[in-house]
Structures are given as C-alpha cells and as structure tokens.
Amino acid sequence: MKYRELQGLRGIAILAVVLYHLWPVLFLNGFMGVDMFFVLSGFLMIETTFNHESDGFKCANIVPFWYRRIRRIVPLAILNVFATWIIVLYKLSVTNLPDLKKDAICALSFSTNICNIYYSKNYFDMSSIDYFKHYWSLGVEIQFYLIVPGLFLILRHLSTKMTLFCVLPFLITASILFQTYLFANDHSQIAFFLLPSRLWQFCIGIGAFYVRRYKNEIVMDVNFVNSGFRRVLSSVQQWLITELIAILLVFSLFVPALCDVGWMMLVIVFLTACVIISLPMNTLDTGKSKSRTLTLSNPLLLVLGNASYAIYVFHWMIQHIVSVISLNFDLFESKLCCFYTVIAIGILVHFIIEKPLLSVTHTKSSFCIVVSTVYAALLLLIFITNDKNEIIPPSIEAFYNHQAPSILNTSTWASVASSLNSDSATKLALYTGRHHCHFYDKSDYVKSLNDAGLVGAELRGSGNLSILVTGNSHAECALPGIKAALGQNSYRELNMFGTTGLTPFPGFRHATRLQVLMDAVDHYAPDVIILMFKYQDDVLNVPLTYPLTDDPIVKGMQSTIDFLSNRTGKVFINGDHFQIADFNIWKFTQATSLHVRKDYSFYEKYRDQIFSDLHTRWQAVDCPKCVIINMWPAFCLNNRCSPLDSTQTVPLFWDDNHVNLFGSYLMAPLFKMYFQNDNSTSPHHDYANKQND
C-alpha cells in the first residue's frame, strides 16, 4: 500500500538528491534526501509488518519479509547494472574495465557502501566515474533489512513504553555516538557509509511509528505530562502543523545553511519523523487520505514519490551520459536538460517496467528462480567480458614515452600533436589513465620497506648535489619535469620517495605514515628537498584560527618545515596544487571516442577560490630556507587554465590533480626558473655546511 503524504515525502527526498548531484554547491544539503529515505524505510518496515502480522512478528515471518523487500528492490537494481554495462562497454566504448567489474559486483551484491570504504572512495568526489556510487544507500538498506527481523522479534516481547523510552533511545544514542566518534577521528568515509552509523535514522523512523500509533496511550500513562501538554500533542495531527513542518523540512533541505553537516543531518531526520507523526491517523492506517496538506499532496511531488526508486536507481548513469556528450556540462542549460531527462526516464521506467513487475503474480519459488538465473547470467557476462582496448598499440606507447619532452618546443608541438587522429587520441588518453605516474623503476629503498603504499626512484647524475623529491603521489608525477629542469650535471643523485594519500603535516590524513617519510629524509640525507603533494580536504576545509600562530594547520605545517629545514640546506614546496574542477580522464576519453570536443578551460581565479586560506597560512609559516612554488603558470595563459595541451588534443593530467608525463614535462621550465633564481641547485653550489646554515 502506498500512502499519499509519504509519497510526497519521497518526492521531496528524490528531488533533493537529483538536484544535489547536478548542482552540489547550490543544493548543499540535497544529499540528505537519502537520510529521509532511511527514516521512511524504518517507519514503513514496522508499519507494514504490523499490518501483515496482526498477532506479532514471528520467526516464520522472516522469509516473507525478506521476499517482499527483494521483490521491491532487486529487479530494478539488476536492470540498471545490466543497462550500464551495455551502454558503457558498447556505446561509450572505453572505461577502466577492472574498476567497472569491481563496482558492478559490489552493486549486485548490495555491498557498495562497504566497497567504498575498502577502496577509499569519496561520495562527494563529483569528478569520479563510479557508475554505481549511489548504490551505497541500497547496500545500507539491504543490510538493515537483514538484521531488522531480529529487532522486530525482540520488540514483540516488549511493551510500547519499554520500546519507545529504552530500546530505541539506546540504539539511536549508540549509533549517533559511533558516527560522531568516526567523524571526530578522521574516519569520515566509514561514518558516512557504514550501517551502524546510519542505524539511528532507521530507528527514528521506527520510533515515529510508535509515537503516532500509541501517542494517546503514552500521554495518558506518563505522569509528568500535564493536561496542557496533552492538548498540544492531541492537536499535532492537524493539517496546519503538518504543513508548517513540511515547509520547514523543504527549507532546510533546499536552502544552504551555515550549519555543520552533522547538525543539519539531525534536523532533516527529526523533521522527517515529525511530519510522519503529525499526519492524520486515517491517512496512514486506512490508506484513504483526507489530509489538506498542500505541500505533501502536491501532484508533482506525488508523481516523483511514486517513481522515486526508479529515478534514484537510474539517475546517476543518465547524468554521466549527458555529461559526456554535452559540449559544456557546466552550463545551466545542459544540467537543466539532464534534470528533465532524469525525471522523464525515471517516471517512464516506473510505469513501463517497475509497476508491471510488481503487479505480476508469481510464487516465491518462481521469482527466486528467475532472479537467480538473471543474476548468474549477468555475473557470467561481467566475468567473460574482455576489454577491447586492453592492448594499446606500441606506437601510442612510444608517442607517450618519447614525444612527451617535445611538448616544451612550442614551435613544433602543434605538428606533433596533429599526428594524432581521434582514434589514436583516444588510445593515448586510455594509456594515460592506466599508466598514472609509474615512470621509473621502484627504488631499492622502497623495495626494502615492502609497502604497497610507497613509491620511490633513485636516479644518478654527474653533479654534486643530493636532491630528494618527496611528498605523496604528486612527487612521483613531478619527477620527470624536475629531472628535465635540473639537468644531469646538477645532481649526483636525484631520489624520490612518496607515500600515497599523505598530508605531510602531523595530525592530518594518514599522519601515522608521516614518520615513514621522515625516515626517508634521514636515510637519503639530501642537500635539497623538493616537497610535492596534494593538499587534502582535511587541510583545505578547516577554517582559519586567529592568531594564525594558534591555527592547527599552521602548527602542523611549521612542524614539518622545522623538521625538513634541520636536515637540508633548501626546501622547495608547492604552495598549493593545480586543481581542475570535475576533470576525469575516462570521461575525457569517452568524449574523445564519440568525437565530442569540449572546452575544459577555466579561469585562474578558481585558484584563489579554493586556496586563499592556504596561502594565508603559508604566510604565517617561518621558514628562511623555503621557496614556495606556484605551479599554475605551467598550465595557465592569460588567466585561463586547461588540463589539455595547446592543441586541446593531448591530456596533461590523468585525474583532476595528477599530471601525466606530458604535464610533468610542461612544468620543467617553471621548476627551472625557481631553481635558477634561487641558485641552490647550481652544479657548483656547496651545501657541505648545511647543518650549520
């Protein structure tokens, strides 16, 4: 049975999610529409269970309960995986097949939330090309459905007051504390994706059921509730109260609020539960709505609510396709077209596929046989599919490895790049996306540490200096450009050591691995250190603290700088990193294969928008031996920046911040300018007395 006002709530939730994925800055809280779905699921699970089992939930009811949930969720989820597989491989033609296989299997097993934790995927990374990233919530729901029968069996033997005032508050509090602990200890992905940290939202939905059904009984029995409060509770079902709460919910969801995301999550969940509680009893208990709520009974919201599951399952793939084929997906018109397409296809799927499937009469055994057969066939298809682009022609590999330095010759580069046709440009982008920054053999030192998260190289020259390039994976990517800028006669040894994902300041991301980097500095005892890394969100998103000497980021930066300065004569540091909004090498490759030429350029002022606080912090760091490098001039001209070369054919990056071999060489003149101006990397520069400098 579908309830009118609850369908309106679903409509609000799905609208928020779709709008957030299209305009994440404008609809900042839109992703919390999923939180609303969790509250609704908790309420509907116990409400429908009570309707089906009037004499209480028993062990014999577990299988029928699971069957109803599987019948509702699995068919469309499988259909979307199949459709995505066919479209990506046979229309978009190029992708990272190993990743697609892993993601598809995670989606089919409803474990995407766990896979995202294991593979360190960030839900808020809009530049990613994870076709099933939205399946994380389906995973949480299915996992909840696996355990909730046990909860129902326990609640069956407890009184309403025991459930409402003891069991549910305990579960809600424990779940919130667990989630808060994870967020506070830099485990935000676990806090976001894992069921235990989301259980409180389902439990609040269950609590809403008990409050609205047994409200009068609870009020009459609780001695400390006076008659005036009882009158307020008795009137809370009036349509005006529901209307006001619904409007407040919509406002909280769609209007960006200067409030911590944790508090906003509590507000959204609480308001959703209040709307459910305030609805007239006849609306939910008879299915015949006499409510006059204009917001929740809006016909458009009801249509969206009825089709909400179909829209949710298919919207992410539709958005990806439109983003690939659009010349400029950042245009409002392009995203508006995508929005209408998502809604239209979702509603169409609901009426043509979802409703007929749910209305088909069949036995449980026949349904299970059909679903199992489809699962097996789809898994077989996934496992036997080979990547037709797996083998890159030797000519493309040779072009990448041998022609990359020629990007520095502005007079001849255009003719070099013009030798690439659409097919070879696609292959080159594919090679870039797969090769990443593995330009040199792994160093003996890194091999001795036997750690897959470390990268390293040891190069030899004819000069006098010992130079160490260190940081995270950006150190590996920048090494060819640094080598070209120095020249072999500048260094005796040019070593590189990086630990992937590290924020090289104490107290921040992967801070426990900072000691490994420090050990490498002591191991190589370099004359010059070049620190290259990406500034992670745990640094960029922290507001400034005044005075800046008390700022936790500044303290961390100063600590690392002091360590490096005490062990070398000169420290070069990238003051920020080049960042491209929403650039993805696989999307670029797919667009190239479809002969869609896009303008990926953007204004250089984007740098100040995302790094202004970081620049302020560097001004507060005391480091006489430091040279701060601005990497942006290598990729910007006349205030316009691009992740592509001057011919708009060859990518310079393999994601939104890592340079490939072409991009690394393009930075060589910039590095050379800094090195020559400082004169610290001159072939004849002597740092023999660096410890006393």
DSSP string, 406-439: GGG-TTTHHHHHTT--HHHHHHHHHHHHHHTT--
Which has the higher per-residue pLDDT, 464 or 218? 464
Mean pLDDT of 601-611: 90
- Residue 323 in tokens: 């983003």
Same domain? For 157 and 199 the reply is yes
| Identity of the amino acid at 464 | N
What does the pLDDT read at residue 109?
96
Residues 176 and 151 in one domain: yes
On whether both 348 and 450 belong to a single domain, the answer is no
Residue 631 contacts residue 652 (beta carbons within 8 Å):
no
Check residue 294 and give its pLDDT: 81
Largest CA distance in the chain: 91
| 319 and 402 both lie in a single domain | no
Least confident segment among 285-294, 384-393, 539-548? 285-294
Mean pLDDT of 98-108: 93
Predicted TM-score (pTM) of this structure: 0.83
Instruction: Single out the residue of 539, 536, 555 nearest to residue 547, CA to CA.
Output: 555
533 lies in some domain: yes
DSSP secondary structure letters along 149-191: HHHHHHHTTS-HHHIIIIIHHHHHHHHHHHHHHHHHTT-HHHH
Element (H, E) at 471: strand 465-471
Q: What is the mean pLDDT of residues 146-167?
A: 89
In a domain, 458, yes or no: yes
Structure tokens at 119: 């593979």
Q: Per the structure block, which two tokens stand in for 510?
A: 């992967």
490-to-434, 467, 572, 681, 687 alpha-carbon distances in Å: 32, 9, 16, 6, 13
590: amino acid identity, one letter = Q
d(CA 411, CA 408): 9
Last residue of a domain, one of 338, 357, 384: 384
642 and 513 within one domain = yes
Same domain? 265 vs 402: no
- Which of 32-46, 67-81, 282-296, 575-589 shows the lowest mean pLDDT across its residues? 282-296
Amino acid at 254: F
> Sign (positive/negative) of CA torsion 32, 177, 123, 351?
negative
The amino acid at 603: Y
| Separation of alpha carbons 382 and 99, rounded Å | 12
**Among candidate residues 469, 5, 529, 632, the one with its CA nearest the CA of residue 280:** 5
- Are 405 and 363 within one domain? no
Domain that holds residue 169: 4-384
Q: Which of these, 482, 575, 596, 559, lies nearest to 528 by C-alpha position?
A: 482
- The answer on 400 and 364 residing in a single domain is no
Q: Is residue 407 part of a domain?
A: yes
The residue with greater pLDDT, 419 or 226, is 419
pLDDT for res 98? 87
Please check whether residues 372 and 442 belong to one and the same domain: no
- What is the chain's Cα-based Rg? 29
What was the pLDDT predicted at 584? 85
- The pLDDT, as a whole number, for residue 582 is 76
Lowest mean pLDDT among 4-18, 40-54, 323-337: 40-54
CA 494 vs. chain centroid, Å, equals 36
Higher pLDDT, 294 or 312: 312
Predicted local distance difference test score (pLDDT) of residue 229 = 52
Residue 418 belongs to a domain: yes
Tokens 């898994």 sit on residue: 379
Q: How far is C-alpha 198 from the chain's CA centre?
A: 17
Q: Tell me if 510 is assigned to some domain.
A: yes
Quote the pLDDT of residue 690.
Answer: 39
CA distance 444 to 425: 35
| Confidence check: pLDDT of 319 > 60 | yes
Regarding whether 563 and 466 lie in a shared domain, the answer is yes
Token pair, residue 336, equals 């508006």
Q: Is 454 in the same domain as 537? A: yes
Amino acid at 215: K
- Is residue 389, in this structure, part of any structural domain at all? no
What is the domain count for the chain? 2
**Do the domain assignments include residue 102?**
yes
Q: Measuring CA to CA, which residue among 344, 406, 475 is closest to residue 646?
A: 406
Least confident of 254-268, 447-461, 495-509: 254-268
Predicted local distance difference test score (pLDDT) of residue 688: 37
pLDDT (0 to 100) of residue 389: 73
Q: What is the pLDDT of residue 557?
A: 94
- CA 240/CA 243 separation, integer angstroms: 5
**Do both 97 and 228 map to the same domain?**
yes
CB–CB of 641/604 below 8 Å? yes
pLDDT value of residue 686:
43
The verdict on residue 375 lying in a domain is: yes
Q: What is the pLDDT of residue 506?
A: 87
Please state the rounded mean pLDDT for residues 184-202.
92
137-141, 389-393, 600-604: which range is least confident on average?
A: 389-393
**Residue 692: predicted pLDDT:** 37
- Residue ending a domain, choose from 384, 413, 431: 384
| Domain at 484, CATH number | 3.40.50.1110
What number of residues does the chain have? 693
The residue type of 639 is N
- Domain endpoint, select from 342, 361, 384: 384
Quick one: pLDDT band at residue 290, thresholds 50, 70, 90? low
Q: What confidence category does residue 89 fall into, taking pLDDT thresholds of 50, 70 and 90?
A: confident
